[in-house]
Every structure is written in C-alpha cells, then in structure tokens.
Amino acid sequence: LLRLMNVGKPGTGCTTTIPETEMTCLIMMAKEVFAGQPMMLECTAPINLCGDIHGQLSDLFRIFNMIGWPPTANYLFLGDYIDRGRWSLETILLLFALKVKFPENFLLLRGNHETTIVNRIYGFYEDIVRRFGTPRLFNAFQEVFAMMPLSAVISDRILCMHGGLSPQLLTAGSISILNAITRPLDVLNYP
C-alpha cells in the first residue's frame, strides 16, 4: 500500500516498484473480498460518494488528501476506475489495496469500464501488454471485475450504481433482486 501511495514520483512507476507476482496476489485477494460481499451492498451514512476516476491517480490522491484516507473516511466509488488516464494500473491497484485492507468502509462498484469489451477498447489491455509483454494481468483483472458488486443502498434510502436502471426495477422493494445475480458476472455489451 505504501509503495502504491508513492507512485507518480520520479522513478516510482508501478512496474518498477511492485513485482508482477505481488500485483497478481493483490488482485486475487481483492477477488476473494468481492466474492464475500453481496451484489447489492448496504452501507450507512456518512459516506463519501465518488464517480469516475478513469486512471487519474492524481485526482484520487487529491480526493483522499481533501476528505481523508481510509479508514478515517468511508467511501463508495461508483465504477470506471481504469481507461483513458495515464495511471490506470496504479489507480486500480491502489483501490484494490484499500479494498482489501478496509473491506467494510471502502466500497467499490463495477462500472461499464470494468467489462472486458470496454476496457479492451479504451486502453487498459494495451497498457498491460505494453508494460508486461503478456495479457496475463489483464485476464486476472477481468476475473476480479466479474466479482464486483453492481449497486449499493445507503441507509435504506439511496440507491447507487454506475448507471442504467433496469425497467424491471419497478418498486423500491424490487431492488433486492440484484442480490440474486450470480457471479462471476460476464457483462455483455449490446450495440
């Protein structure tokens, strides 16, 4: 965690400070944490909601420095952690490390960029293969993304998700159907 918090300083890129084997271990630990949590998380206020990060590690640091680092502040992130930004790998690894260390007060939902078809198109795949010469880590990330929860309810009143309310969710009580979704969840993107 400390090494990830120093990424971005000169000579401290992720691939120079953290061995691939440690990254894989962290990814698998995150997978186990997500597997032990429901598809629809239940949390209580106060909690800080955060939208798309898209590999902007400096923005993530700025959020934590302004509001507080876990566990002094509770967080619910709504997805889209990777792609587009320069530091996608470092961003998702830091988020996973915080999730593993603080599983109950650091919550991560799956966004559309945590799907294979989207993160393959928008740069995550190319970034991993360029850095490591193999898609091995990319494939490991896909396994974790398939285990991530899709929604959260704050204090039994506020429904949170990345986007796209299903027309099948007609009443407040019908959202409990989200917990019936089995994992791993392969998300299909239709045109």
Q: What is the pLDDT of residues 1-27, one digit of tens each?
A: 666 666 655 555 555 568 899 999 999
Q: Indicate if 162 belongs to the active site.
A: no
Region 33-53 average pLDDT: 96
Residue 11's pLDDT is 55
Catalytic residue, chosen from 54, 99, 113, 162, is 113
In terms of Cβ atoms closer than 10 Å to its own Cβ (0-12, 13-18, 19+), residue 186 is exposed
| Residues in the chain, overall count | 191
Specify the pTM: 0.88
Angle at which helix 136-145 crosses helix 124-132, to 10 degrees, equals 140
Query: What are the residues whose beta carbons fall under 8 Å from the beta carbon of 86, sequence distance 6 or more?
Result: 55, 57
Region 100-111 average pLDDT: 96
- What class does CATH assign to 2-180? alpha beta
Looking up tokens 């299903």 gives 166
